[in-house]
Structure 1
Amino acid sequence: MDSVAVGFWGAFFGAVSLSLFAAVLAFRRSARRVALTGSLSAVVSGLYVLVFLGWLPGLGHDAQLRLDAALAAAASAVLGFLLFWLLGLVRGARVSRAVVLAAAATAAVILFGWTLPAEGALAVAVGMQAALVAAGLGAAGHSAWRGAPPGHLALAGLGFMTTTIAVLTWYAFAPALTPWWLHALGALAAIGYTGSMASALWARYSYLIDVRQAMIHGPSYDPVTRMPSHHETNLLVGEAFAKGYREGRPLGVIVVSIGNFEALEHLHGRAAYNHGLFICAGRLRRITPAGVQLGRLGNDAFLLLMPRPVSAGALIELAQVIAQRVPRPVAIGTTGEMAELETTRTTWVADVGVGVLVAPPQMRAPTAIAAAKAMSRTAWSYASRVAGYDEDARKIAELGAPPGPVAVR
C-alpha cells in the first residue's frame, strides 16, 4: 500500500481515537448509553477498516476474504442497530426483538457464506450491508423530513459510509488495482462518517442535558422552553398590539393550550411536567415559521403572534399543523436522572387545543389574548382541536378542514 494511503487511513484511526475520548467524557457525566453507543460505533468502525485493509498478519487470501465477509455482516448489524436506536426507532420492548433479529440475520449470512467460495461469501455480506444502508436511508430520510437533527446527520453519515464500504470492498477483491487516491477517498469518507455519527450522538447528549436541567429547575430556568419569559412575553404582546394600532393593521393571534399538564404532574411529579413542557415548546419552535413571535402564556399555554396576517386562512393552516404535530406521543422522564431519560417507558400525549383569532387594530391586547385562550380551551372538545370565532353564528366554532368564508374575529 502506498505511504500516502497509509497516512490517510492513519488520520481515520486518529478520528476514531477522538470519538473514544469523547465517549469517555460522556460516560463520566452519567450519559452511559450515549457513551456506550459512541464507543461501540467507533470500535466497530475501526475494526472493520483494520480487517478490510488486511493489516492482521498471517492470513491467506481466502481466509482474509472470509474474515472480511464475517466482519462485514456483524459490523453492519451492529451499526445498523445503533443507527435505528439513534433515530428513535428502537425503544423499550423493541430492543430485544431488534437484537434477536440482527443476530439471526448475521448468523444466517455467515453460515450461508461458508457454503460458497470466499468471493461469494463476501458478496453476500456486502449485499446485507447494501440492504441495511437502504433501510437506514429510508429511516434517516423520514426523520430528516420531520425536522429531527439526528436525521440530517444520519443521512450524511450513511452517504459517507456507503463510499467507504465501496472503496474497501474494491480493495478486498483487487488490492493491487486500488490507487492511492481511492484509499484517500475511502479514508476521508470514513472520517466524515465518524464525525457525522459523533455529531448525532452529541445532539442526543446535549438534548439529555437540556431535559435534565429542565426537569430539575422547572419553568424558572429559560432552557425549559427556550422562549421569552412570562414578563418578556407581556412586553412583546404590548409592543405588537401597539404597533398594529399605529399602522392600522390586524394582528394574528394563536393560543395553544395543553389540557393535561396538571394531570401529568399529579401522576408522575414535577419533573415529568417540566419534561412535557420542554417537549411541547421544542416542537412549537420547530413548527413556527419565520416572522411569527412565540412566547409562554401561563403555566399550560403558548402564544403565537403573526404580524400583518395575509388572511385568516394562513393562521388556520398553521393552527392545524400545530394540532397535528404537537400531540405526537413521547417518552417522558419522571426523575432528574440522565440514565432514566434513556430507558423510560412512560408515554405521554399532549391534550392540545388551538385558538385562532385575527385581532383588529382597535382591539385591546388583554381582550384578544383572553378570547384566543378561551377558544383554545373550547377546542379541546373538538375533533380537529382547532377553534375560531364564527361571526355569523356569533359563537366559537370548530375549524376543521381549510375554511371558506369563515370570519374569525
Structure 2
Amino acid sequence: MDQWVSGFWGAYFGAAALMLAGAVFAFTRGVRRVAVNAAMSGIASTFFVVAFLGGLPIGNDDLLARFLAHVACAVSAVLAYLLFAILGVLRERAVRRKTAIGLALLAWGVMALGWLVPPIAALQMGMTMALGLGVLALALTLRGVVRGDRMAWAAVTGVTLMLIAIGGLGWIALERPNAPWQVHAISALAGMAYLATMAGVMWTRYSYLIELNEVMAHGPSYDPVTRMRLYTLPGQTLEQTLHQITTDGAPLGAVAITIANLYVLKKLYGLPAVNHALFVSAGRLRRSVPSGVHVGRLGNDTFLLLVPQGADSGRLLRMARNVLVRLSKSVVLNTSLQAGALEQQQTHWAAELGVGVMRLPKADPLSAGEAVVMACKMASTAVSYPSRLAWFDHGSGEIVDMPPTLY
C-alpha cells in the first residue's frame, strides 16, 4: 500500500504548492496580508506534515519524539494565530499583541513541561495542545455561525478538517511504521480539503483589498464595473499614461474597441444588463491581451489598449483580431438586481463590435493622443465593416477594412 500512501501525500504537497503559488500571486498584486497569511499557513502546515511523516533526518526515536512535540506546539500556535486573524478576532492591535504573547507563552510552557516527562508523553502533550487550539478555533467559528457570518460555515468545515488531519498525523507519528494506510489517506485528504477551504475563506475575506489597491492607485479614474482604469478623453489620466509609455520616438500601438449595441441593451433591459455586459467584456478583454499592454475603459462604450514599444503591425492586428473574436461571443446577462430573480430574468446577448487599430512608428505624447482619437473614430466606423476591424494604412493615408486573410 506504499504507493497509495505516496500518492495521497503527493497530492497534498501539490495542493500546498498551489497555495504558495496563490500567495505569490497575491503578493505581486500588492495584497501582502493575504500573501503572508496564505504562505505561512501553507509552509507551517507542510512542515508539520513532513515532520510527522518522518521526513526529517533524525535517527534517534526519543529525540524525534521530543522534536515533534516542539513542532506540534510551535506550528499549532502559528496556525491558531492565523485562524484567529481570518475569523476577525484580531482586528484591534492590543488584542493581536495579547493573543500573540499568550500563544507564545503557551507554546513555550508546554515545550518546557515536555522535558519533565518521557519523550512519547511530551509528544502527546504537544498533540493535546494542537488539538485544544483547534477546538478553540472551532468554537469561535461556531460563534460566527450563530452571528450569521456568511463565511462561518466554510471556516467551521476548514477547522474540522484540520482537526482530522492533526489527529491522523498524531496517530501516524505514534504508531509508525504500523499506521494503517487508511489513516494516511484520510489525513492527506483532510489536509488538502483544509488548505482549499481556508484558501477560499482567506480570499473571500481579503479580496476586497485587491480592488482597494486599484482604487487607491487610480483614484476617481477607477471604474468599479469593469475593474480597470477609466480613461477620459481629453483628460489628465490618459495624458499621464501616454507620457509614461512614450519615450524618445519609441513606437506605440493603439487599439480601440467600441461596443455599438450597449445603448439598445440599456433601453431594452436597463442598466443592470449593461453593467453585466461591461463586466463580462472587461474580463474577457483582460484575458485576451498579453502582459505589458495597458488596458482601460474610455467613455461609456469603448475600451482602449495601449501597446508600448509598439508591436509590429502583424502582431498588433492579430491581437486586435483575437480581442474581436473573444468579445463577440454570446453571453447570458442578468437583467435584474434582485438576487432571487437572477435565474428567471436573463437574456442572451452578443456584443456588436468595431475595432480601430493605429500604429505609430515614432510616438510622442501629442501624436499618441491624436492616435487614440483616431483609433476611437476608426472603431466607430469599423462597426459597419464586414471584418469589424479598421486599420490605418500609413502608406496610402487611408482607413481600410482588414479581412482576416491579410494578417
| Equivalent residue letter for 2:28 | R
String of CA shifts for 1:193-241, please: whole Å, max 9, x gaps.
11111111111232223445667459984599xxxxxx99xx89xxxxx
What secondary structure is seen at the aligned counterpart in 2 of 1:176?
Answer: coil
Task: State whether structure 2 residue 131 is matched by structure 1 residue 124.
Answer: no
What secondary structure is seen at the aligned counterpart in 2 of 1:93?
Answer: helix
Cα 1:139/1:218, change in 2 over 3 Å: farther
Question: Does structure 1 conserve the Cα–Cα contact (< 8 Å) formed by 2:30 and 2:210?
Answer: no
Q: Once the 2 structures are TM-superposed, how far is the Cα of residue 188 of structure 1 from its aligned partner?
A: 0.6
Cα 1:212/1:146, change in 2 over 3 Å: farther
String of CA shifts for 1:66-117, please: whole Å, max 9, x gaps.
1111100111100000000011101222222111111100000000011011
Task: Give the Cα–Cα distance (whole angstroms) in 1 for the partners of residues 144 and 208 of structure 2.
Answer: 16
In the other structure, the counterpart of 2:51 is 51
Cα 1:90/1:28, change in 2 over 3 Å: same
What secondary structure is seen at the aligned counterpart in 2 of 1:56?
Answer: coil
TM-score (norm 1): 0.52
Larger radius of gyration: 2
Question: Does structure 1 conserve the Cα–Cα contact (< 8 Å) formed by 2:30 and 2:213?
Answer: no
Task: Give the Cα–Cα distance (whole angstroms) in 2 for the partners of residues 40 and 219 of structure 1.
Answer: 32
Question: Does structure 2 conserve the Cα–Cα contact (< 8 Å) formed by 1:73 and 1:125?
Answer: yes
Task: Give the Cα–Cα distance (whole angstroms) in 1 for the partners of residues 151 and 178 of structure 2.
Answer: 37
Task: Give the Cα–Cα distance (whole angstroms) in 1 for the partners of residues 98 and 41 of structure 2.
Answer: 20
Task: Give the Cα–Cα distance (whole angstroms) in 2 for the partners of residues 149 and 208 of structure 1.
Answer: 18
Question: Does structure 2 conserve the Cα–Cα contact (< 8 Å) formed by 1:69 and 1:110?
Answer: yes
In the other structure, the counterpart of 2:64 is 64
Task: Give the Cα–Cα distance (whole angstroms) in 2 for the partners of residues 6 and 201 of structure 1.
Answer: 29
Task: Give the Cα–Cα distance (whole angstroms) in 2 for the partners of residues 146 and 210 of structure 1.
Answer: 27
How do 1:1-150 residues align onto structure 2 when only pairs under 5 Å count? 2-91=2-91, 92-150=93-151
How do 1:321-340 residues align onto structure 2 when only pairs under 5 Å count? none
Q: Once the 2 structures are TM-superposed, how far is the Cα of residue 156 of structure 1 from its aligned partner?
A: 1.1
Task: Give the Cα–Cα distance (whole angstroms) in 2 for the partners of residues 180 and 112 of structure 1.
Answer: 33
How do 1:2-401 residues align onto structure 2 when only pairs under 5 Å count? 2-91=2-91, 92-212=93-213, 216-217=219-220, 221=224
String of CA shifts for 1:26-53, please: whole Å, max 9, x gaps.
0111101110010000000000000000
Question: Does structure 2 conserve the Cα–Cα contact (< 8 Å) formed by 1:210 and 1:223?
Answer: no
Aligned length: 233
Task: Give the Cα–Cα distance (whole angstroms) in 2 for the partners of residues 167 and 192 of structure 1.
Answer: 14
Cα 1:162/1:13, change in 2 over 3 Å: same
Task: Give the Cα–Cα distance (whole angstroms) in 2 for the partners of residues 103 and 223 of structure 1.
Answer: 45
How do 1:396-407 residues align onto structure 2 when only pairs under 5 Å count? none
| Equivalent residue letter for 2:39 | S
What secondary structure is seen at the aligned counterpart in 1 of 2:90?
Answer: coil
Task: Give the Cα–Cα distance (whole angstroms) in 2 for the partners of residues 155 and 195 of structure 1.
Answer: 13
Task: Give the Cα–Cα distance (whole angstroms) in 2 for the partners of residues 157 and 134 of structure 1.
Answer: 12
Q: Once the 2 structures are TM-superposed, how far is the Cα of residue 144 of structure 1 from its aligned partner?
A: 3.0
Q: Once the 2 structures are TM-superposed, how far is the Cα of residue 63 of structure 1 from its aligned partner?
A: 1.2
Task: Give the Cα–Cα distance (whole angstroms) in 2 for the partners of residues 150 and 212 of structure 1.
Answer: 23
> Could you tell which deviates more after superposition, 30-39 or 200-209?
200-209
Task: Give the Cα–Cα distance (whole angstroms) in 2 for the partners of residues 84 and 56 of structure 1.
Answer: 29
Q: Once the 2 structures are TM-superposed, how far is the Cα of residue 148 of structure 1 from its aligned partner?
A: 2.9
Identity of aligned residues (%): 36
Task: Give the Cα–Cα distance (whole angstroms) in 1 for the partners of residues 132 and 202 of structure 2.
Answer: 23
What secondary structure is seen at the aligned counterpart in 2 of 1:177?
Answer: coil
Task: Give the Cα–Cα distance (whole angstroms) in 1 for the partners of residues 2 and 161 of structure 2.
Answer: 22
Task: Give the Cα–Cα distance (whole angstroms) in 2 for the partners of residues 167 and 146 of structure 1.
Answer: 31
Q: Which runs of 5+ in 1 are unaligned?
A: 225-230, 237-287, 292-409
What secondary structure is seen at the aligned counterpart in 1 of 2:117?
Answer: coil
TM-score (norm 2): 0.53
| Equivalent residue letter for 1:146 | R
String of CA shifts for 1:233-274, please: whole Å, max 9, x gaps.
xx89xxxxxxxxxxxxxxxxxxxxxxxxxxxxxxxxxxxxxx
Task: Give the Cα–Cα distance (whole angstroms) in 2 for the partners of residues 25 and 170 of structure 1.
Answer: 35
Task: Give the Cα–Cα distance (whole angstroms) in 2 for the partners of residues 5 and 154 of structure 1.
Answer: 27
Cα 1:29/1:115, change in 2 over 3 Å: same
Q: Once the 2 structures are TM-superposed, how far is the Cα of residue 59 of structure 1 from its aligned partner?
A: 2.5
Q: Which runs of 5+ in 2 are unaligned?
A: 228-265, 272-337, 342-407
